[in-house]
Structure 1
Amino acid sequence: MASTVTSKSSRPGYGQLLRTRGAWTFLLPGFAARQPFAMLTLSIVLLVRHTTGSYGAAGAVAAVTGVSMALFAPSGGRLADRRGQRAVLVPGVLVHALSGGALTALALAHAPLWALFAAAVPTGASVPQIGPMVRARWGARLHGSPLLTTAAAFESVTDELTFVLGPLLATALCTTVAPAAGLLAEAALTLAGGLLFAAQKGTQPPVAAVPHARVRHASALRVPGVRVLAVAFLGIGSVFGGLQVALTAFSESIGEPGLNGVLYGVFAAGNMLSGVVYGAVAWKAAPQRRLVLGHAALAAAASALWTAHSVIVLAGLGLLVGVCIAPALITGYTLVERLVPAGARTEAFTWLTGAVALGQAAAVTVAGQFEDRLWDGAGFLVPMGGTVLALVTLVALQSRLATRADGRTVARGVDHRVPMTVD
């Protein structure tokens, strides 16, 4: 390990990061606004499973939501880069609250599956991309600072804290209050938190850095490294989605449905604690090498999940999988700072967030079918398959994640040192 890390003192710490001027003005409302994101998929699964009696139907509706988010999130990121975050957030959270309420009402009315799908599309498409927007604000505040890597770690820890609290809250509301309580609370929190975050106009990144005539119009997805990272994040999404369905099925199979939130919380807690440690270490190894190693560890841990047949073993394996996710997430987001110019980073971050959502959606669908049609616990095969495929892709295309020594990244012959907005 000595060959890959240096002293913690050589890396600016979390204390210095949190003393960044203006940071708390967007961190606190940002945390409130991103909390519902961790509740959405599980709340849908629990509600639709209750009203239809099918994990397959529940997974399919949740998957439509995730796919819609994955498809529309990059467009929202481009608009945020061009028009400002507030212009995207305000209408987005209003649409999300209304469509989430409609989805709840249709599920409770035992509407046909196609009607649930129709409501799931705007619900997913309007999910506010708070995480990418917060990361873009850090990038604007810390441009060129060594604190950027610390900020990436801090944001990963914050994300995972929401994934500790969100599933616990969703499960508690759906199992002790009412099956619809989780989704209704998610919609209300999204509306309140999103509007509070949008009100912080002073810290949002500048909309345009150069005169319009000199702006280059291109998508962040043109950068080859972003495409590779998107595939890697699909694998991470397969872990989130597969576990949400498989843990729900496992908890119900032993007659303890409330245990689902606890088990998922253990998984997310491992992710959060690992992120704290990972962000405090100054790593010497190249980030693309760390990304491959992180995904190798994640694939190995995820491959053991299907063998668990007791709560204790499953909790231990879930904790281990969570520990392995944080390094992969943090390193991927750190690479975006090196690969993509500031004028397109919100979009780049939303491509990765969308990839996680798409992987989660596919995993929820497949895991739901596995649980319905195969044996109890078959859903745990999905995280194994997703992480192994992501690892193979990373190993084969690792060279596309390399950055030039002078910090420039070239995609298709375009030197991206010039700030750009996107179509």
Structure 2
Amino acid sequence: MPFGASSGASSASSGTSGADAAPGASGSGSSSRRPGYGQLLRTPGAWSFLLPGFAARQPFAMLTIGIVLLVQHTTGSYGSAGAVAAVTGVSMALFAPQSGKLADRFGQRAVLVPGVLVHSASVAALTVLALAHAPLWVLFAAAVPAGASVPQVGPMVRARWAAKLGGSPLMPTAAAFESVTDEFTFVVGPVLATALCTGVHPAAGLIAEAGLTLAGGLLFAAQRRTQPPFGRPSAGEREAHVSALSVPGVRVLAVAFLGIGSVFGGMQVSLTAFSEEIGQPGMNGLLYGLFAAGNMLAGIAIGAIAWKSGPRRRLVLGYGGLAIAASLLWAAHSAVLLGALGLVVGVCIAPALISGFTLVETLVPGSARTEAFTWLTGSVALGQAAAVTVAGRLADGYGASAGFLVPLVGTALALITLVALRSRLAPRSHSRTVARGVGHRVPVTVD
């Protein structure tokens, strides 16, 4: 989703003022490079939550495609499959922000342990019901708890990085690393789910998703030492403790991320339908893998660059490129051309996602930041849910090419909204600082 769909920051500010720069630092004598990934991964205790967190992220990448493949197999309809997946996505979108609020209040472990247990049981029930050819309304009912309980591990990992690193120059690198991790999840997850569904059994993708969620989620929750502080804000923080959705910029970003969700959902359904049309259902995993690989590789590149332009400008430009690339998908009628275009679309998604999550730091107080991340990931899930429903109906009635119209329309509408309301993405303060090498920071604007 796409989530989850997803996220991070490529050059987020450190949250300190110029007065906080290291003594003796100067703009002319520093490298323009940011601290590297290797330095980040040597942070004590980081691997204890990164490895189980990676396994626990799989639901957002595997759940939708697993449902689409299983339900399409049992019903013969992409429309029905998309509708069941959409119910899951809408449920996740509605409950994800509440999960973020509860984690901020009661701690990640208190939310995650019951969540992964409910999710695994719900996905197992949905799988059994689909194989038993239960009525569509029964599948809808089973999809609600499956979506509502998707563990919000991505935002939780980001919160752990923030608790460990604070205003360190490594924070922008950590945010970029999280984006790459999410994109890698979207490379591995759909390809794994498709391979299991087409090569082992139509239900194998969802079974693997439930197992990974259970094992990874419980292992992640067990890492108590890296869990960020939780509870009520102190008296000094209470003024800043506001709902993330009350911030106008977060609402604008949520609309923009609906468009990104339309790309994930539209691509998943339409690529599946296209592969069926050409008589090579296994091709779906490769095509979607190219799309996700473009996303991941662009995320790696973006995280390695010390940007001079602000995230607001990068968001608008990146989203414009995404809308243009998505508008060409419906015209591709060969696997080679579709794979190439999918790669380009994936490359364009990364700057839009990363820049959007970067802006959260400048828009939202720290006490509401986890909630803000979950609103954005929930927005991707909601856009994905709408996209799989509409694209499924279009693919059933008019063929796979018609399904690719969904990313075109979704990104175009979101881009128009983003450009029109761009001023609402102004930061809470007029300037921020960005790391330009360890021990050196200079003030920048977010535009």
**Bin for the TM-score computed over the shorter chain:** over 0.9
Matched, 1:405 2:434: no
Greater shift, 27-36 or 90-99, is seen at 27-36
- Whole-Å Cα distance in 2 between the matches of residues 257 and 212 of structure 1? 58
Q: Deviations over 1:339-387 (max 9, x none)?
A: 1122111111000000000000000000001111223311001111111
| Residue in structure 1 matched with residue 68 of structure 2 by the alignment | 45
Q: Deviations over 1:302-345 (max 9, x none)?
A: 00111101011000000000000111111111111221122111
TM-score (norm 1): 0.92
- Whole-Å Cα distance in 1 between the matches of residues 365 and 105 of structure 2? 14
Q: Deviations over 1:28-58 (max 9, x none)?
A: 1111111232110000000000000000000
What is the number of equivalent residue pairs in this alignment? 403
Distance verdict in 2 for CA 1:351–1:8, change over 3 Å: farther
Q: Can you give the 5+ residue segments of structure 1 that lack an aligned partner in the other structure?
A: 1-5, 409-423
Q: Which amino acid aligns with 2:289?
A: G
Give the 5 Å matches for 1:36-115: 36-115=59-138
- Whole-Å Cα distance in 1 between the matches of residues 31 and 190 of structure 2? 33
Q: Is the 8 A contact 1:8 1:282 kept in 2?
A: no
- Whole-Å Cα distance in 2 between the matches of residues 283 and 111 of structure 1? 53
Give the 5 Å matches for 1:208-219: 208=231, 210-211=233-234, 215-216=238-239, 218-219=242-243
Distance verdict in 2 for CA 1:357–1:314, change over 3 Å: same
Matched, 1:200 2:223: yes
SS at structure 1 position matched to 2:86: helix
Report how far residue 407 of structure 1 moved: 5.1
Q: Can you give the 5+ residue segments of structure 2 that lack an aligned partner in the other structure?
A: 1-26, 434-447
| Residue in structure 2 matched with residue 242 of structure 1 by the alignment | 266
- Whole-Å Cα distance in 1 between the matches of residues 289 and 359 of structure 2? 28
Report how far residue 208 of structure 1 moved: 3.6
Q: Deviations over 1:243-271 (max 9, x none)?
A: 00000000000000011011000000000
Q: Is the 8 A contact 1:8 1:281 kept in 2?
A: no
Q: Which amino acid aligns with 2:262?
A: S
Q: Is the 8 A contact 2:105 2:232 kept in 1?
A: no
**Percent identity between the aligned chains?**
75
Report how far residue 214 of structure 1 moved: 6.3
| Residue in structure 2 matched with residue 275 of structure 1 by the alignment | 299
SS at structure 2 position matched to 1:334: helix
| Residue in structure 2 matched with residue 35 of structure 1 by the alignment | 58
Distance verdict in 2 for CA 1:102–1:285, change over 3 Å: same
- Whole-Å Cα distance in 2 between the matches of residues 109 and 170 of structure 1? 20
Higher RCO by CA contacts (8 Å cutoff, separation 6 or greater): 2
CA RMSD of aligned residues (A): 1.7
Q: Which amino acid aligns with 1:266?
A: L
| Residue in structure 1 matched with residue 376 of structure 2 by the alignment | 352
| Residue in structure 1 matched with residue 169 of structure 2 by the alignment | 146
Report how far residue 156 of structure 1 moved: 1.0
Q: Deviations over 1:223-257 (max 9, x none)?
A: 11111111111111100000000000000000000
- Whole-Å Cα distance in 1 between the matches of residues 158 and 172 of structure 2? 11
Matched, 1:369 2:376: no
Runs of 4+ in 1 over 6 A off after TM superposition: none
| Residue in structure 2 matched with residue 18 of structure 1 by the alignment | 41
Matched, 1:328 2:352: yes
Distance verdict in 2 for CA 1:213–1:400, change over 3 Å: closer
- Whole-Å Cα distance in 1 between the matches of residues 387 and 173 of structure 2? 30
Matched, 1:391 2:389: no
Matched, 1:314 2:338: yes
- Whole-Å Cα distance in 2 between the matches of residues 149 and 155 of structure 1? 10
Q: Which amino acid aligns with 1:77?
A: G
TM-score (norm 2): 0.87
Matched, 1:232 2:264: no
Q: Is the 8 A contact 1:139 1:342 kept in 2?
A: no
Report how far residue 25 of structure 1 moved: 1.3
Report how far residue 209 of structure 1 moved: 7.0
Greater shift, 368-377 or 130-139, is seen at 368-377
| Residue in structure 2 matched with residue 172 of structure 1 by the alignment | 195
- Whole-Å Cα distance in 2 between the matches of residues 231 and 334 of structure 1? 16
Q: Which amino acid aligns with 1:89?
A: L
